[in-house]
Structure 1
Amino acid sequence: MTDSTKPRAKAADKRRRLTTEAARVLHEKGVERTTLADIARAADVPVGNVYYYFKTKDDLVRAALSEHSAHLGELTGRLDRLPDPRDRLKGLVETWVGQREVAALHGCPTGTLAAELDKRADGVLDVAAGTVIRELLDWAAAQFRALGLPDADGLAVTLVSGYQGMSLLANALRDPEIMTREGARLLRWLDSLDTAG
């Protein structure tokens, strides 16, 4: 690495850390209770440096939503390697259940952020959060379509609604086993869907 690329690499690393920690801290504390200083501290970046990368907290929220979208893309990319669309959908549910402890503490990262942002008057960031959820719905619908099932979009809504519901209840009741039980119910539902016709 040349001397001229080192500062760029350090800057990219700081921005990356800030984005990663913004996604985590905003999920844990919520938008209104999170300060730029909270995110800077979590990222181990001086708070004054945050403004170099992100001018406002809303910019950090956008970055966090991009992080959620990237995580979803990584997850669905891994699942897409499975040859059977039903196995891909089941793998998605198993991933959700595997995150049950986090869901019980904080809810779904994107769902809770979307609900919180919807309460704001500007109506901009909530649309961005909805875009991430739309990506998940579109991916799930593509799997149902690949299975030859009718109403693939409706089935995707049922699946994602099931996840959002179990995540919300696990969080509200602080009971991760809700995710386990409801995840098992979703897996049985996926197995019961008839692809024959």
Structure 2
Amino acid sequence: MTDVAETKHDRIARRQVDKFEARRTQLATDALHTLAELGYARTSLRDIAQNSTFSLGVMHYYFADKRDLVTQAVRQYEAVCVTRYDEVVARATGADQLRDEFVEMFFDTLAEDAALHRLWYDLRNQSLFDESFRADVLEIDGHREAMVWRVVSRYAELRGAQVVSAPGPAYTLLDGIFHRALLHHLTGRSEDVATLRTELPNVMDYLVDGPQ
């Protein structure tokens, strides 16, 4: 009877944890667009509550503070982004297909989700000044780096080539292009964005060495 009772207790505890995490996920998703529109510094939990169906008290119950909510929201969005690129890698049967679909995804998400990407860079910049952000930012950045490495490695494999860069520099190069393209997009400099889009395939080729 004791073992059965403990098993039931464990199941109930797990369900409670699952419900708590599910609600955190829902709240963070609802908060994303407010955060993306106003940025980290100009957004309070009260602002987020006013733009959602949840009260400020509920926000405080599920999140320790604004930092907790922001990092949760960014984590969720970045997980979706990584999945999109992994799907490109999974369905590619040739190097040209992978490169072209990666470039298309790269610039499409930049335009469609510009405010959300801006929020990520805002959070990353905050971590330079606020130590409490750094562990989360480094973890998210690590996921992004691993995603880029999967793309570049698979591209090299499909070309029968080798990657000429380590994961960190490869990610830094592509992330730098994305950041610059995002800035030009937000500034309305469409011609500069188009130039970067034209050059990105060449950058992909620069990262690998082998048969075309």
**TM-score (normalizing by structure 1):** 0.75
Aligned equivalent of 1:75, options 84, 89, 94:
84
1:2-151 mapped onto 2 (5 Å cutoff): 14-83=23-92, 84=94, 87-101=97-111, 108-120=118-130, 123-146=131-154, 147=156, 148-151=162-165
RMSD over aligned Cα atoms? 3.2
Aligned equivalent of 1:161, options 153, 176, 192:
176
Q: CA deviation at 1:41?
A: 3.1
Task: Report if aligned partners of 2:30, 2:52 keep a CA contact under 8 Å in 1.
Answer: yes
Partner of 2:5: none
Q: Distance in 2 between matches of 1:89 and 1:127?
A: 32
Q: What amino acid is the match of 2:199?
A: R
Task: Report if aligned partners of 1:35, 1:57 keep a CA contact under 8 Å in 2.
Answer: yes
Q: Distance in 1 between matches of 2:123 and 2:97?
A: 28
Q: What amino acid is the match of 2:105?
A: T
Structure with greater helix share of residues: 2
Give identity over the alignment, percent. Answer: 19
Q: Distance in 2 between matches of 1:107 and 1:70?
A: 13
Q: Distance in 2 between matches of 1:31 and 1:76?
A: 26
Of 51-60 and 136-145, more deviation after overlay is shown by 136-145
Q: CA deviation at 1:128?
A: 1.5
Q: What amino acid is the match of 2:183?
A: L
**TM-score (normalizing by structure 2):** 0.71
Q: How many residues align?
A: 189
1:164-179 mapped onto 2 (5 Å cutoff): 164-171=179-186, 173-179=187-193
